[in-house]
Amino acid sequence: MKWNLAVFSLAIMTLPAFSADDVVRLPFGKTKDGQQVERFTLNNPNGMKVQVITFGATLQGIEVPDSKGQFADVVVGFDTLEGFLGEHPYFGGVIGRVCNRIGNAKFSLDGKEFPLAANNGINTLHGGKKGFDRQVWAAKSFTHRTSRGVIFSRTSPDGEEGFPGNLKVNVTYTLDNDNGLRIDYNAVTDKATPVNLTNHAYFNLAGKGSILGHMLSLNAKSYTPTGDTLIPTGKLAPVQGTPLDFRKPTAVGARIKQIEAKPVGYDHNYALEESCKGLKAPAAVLSDSSSGRVMQVFTTEPGIQFYSGNFLDGMVKGKKGAAYNQYDGLCLETQHFPDSINQPSFPSTVLKPGQTFTSTTLYRFSAEK
Catalytic residue chosen out of the listed positions 38, 214, 333, 336: 333
Q: How far is CA 52 from CA 56, 104, 271, 274, 358, in A?
A: 9, 33, 29, 31, 21
Selected catalytic residue, list 88, 126, 200, 214:
200
In the residue annotation, 144 being an active-site residue is answered as: no
Please, is 87 exposed, middle or buried when counting C-beta atoms within 10 Å of its C-beta (0-12, 13-18, 19+)?
exposed
The question of whether 333 is a catalytic residue gets the answer yes
Q: How many CB atoms lie within 10 A of CB 356?
A: 16
Listed as own residue / partner, the contacts of 220-223 with beta carbons closer than 8 Å and 24 or more positions apart are 220/246, 220/247, 220/270, 220/271, 220/272, 220/273, 220/283, 220/304, 221/247, 221/273, 222/270, 222/271, 223/268, 223/269, 223/270, 223/271
For 38, 142, 225, the CA distances from 24, given in Å and listed in that order, are 10, 11, 44
Catalytic center residues: 200, 333
